[in-house]
Amino acid sequence: DEEVNGVVITSLDGKGLAADAGLEVGDVILQVGDSAVTTPGDVEKALHATKADAVLLQIDRHGARIFVGVKLA
């Protein structure tokens, strides 16, 4: 098995933007935009640095790498 480095989603607000985008508990966030992330702080920093209304996340879901677009506001 390939080791996955990223940030595991351990909980979601069922009415939040991440849940609306289709993110799930257990997904591993690998990238926020062009930035690789390995800590929750990395994710927060990358989201704050984004000037757009939405961001593309690369995630690992059960071994499959997929992209999910998330509206930021």
Query: What pTM was estimated for this model as a whole?
Result: 0.90
- Residue 63 to residues 4, 15, 16, 21, Cα–Cα distance (Å): 9, 26, 25, 19
1, pLDDT greater than 70:
no
Task: Return the closest-CA partner of residue 36 out of 22, 57, 61, 54.
Answer: 57
**Over the stretch 11-69, which tens digit does the pLDDT of each residue have?**
999 889 889 999 999 999 999 999 999 999 999 999 999 888 999 999 999 999 999 99
